[in-house]
Structure 1
Amino acid sequence: MTGSAALGELVVRRPDLLVSHVERLIEAVRATELDREIPNFEVVDDPVTRQTLREHEEGERERRVSARRTLLDVVVAVIEEAPEAT
């Protein structure tokens, strides 16, 4: 998340610095595609542990979704700044 936030700040101030990296940014968006299903942790017998694992996984997923959205915003901003970059 920190990396995408830093790119978000950079694209606001100096989008020209990211133009040459737009293809790699698009690849990064593709690489962060999430699985549609959250693991159910059936192999864990203890229900409290299973719930803890599920909550942790959901929190991580929310952070990844947020970082991915920021990265998508960066890509869009760069492309709007320099459409020839794609």
Structure 2
Amino acid sequence: MENHEILTIGNLIEQKRRDKQMPQEELAFNCRIVRKTMSNIETDKHLPGLPLFVKIAQALDMRGHELLKDIEYRGLLGDLFRTDKRH
């Protein structure tokens, strides 16, 4: 994947998926959601709830706390706790 600045949780999830050379459809299937929902997560139109967040991490061969730590490291932790889940 081309290097670009990670500004959102969706960007981070997309980067991790691309680093694994995983199509969006495969990640969605492994999380038991439709591809459009995964697209909405990666484009920050939707933030996953905790159960889906953990499924995404597992589908990316990570533990939930590892993905959360990466989010925290990038200063994006507050985004997970927004009451308004849409932009």
Bigger relative contact order (CA 8 A; separation at least 6): 1
Which structure features the higher share of helix residues? Answer: 1
Q: Same fold (TM over 0.5)?
A: no
TM-score (norm 2): 0.26
TM-score (norm 1): 0.26
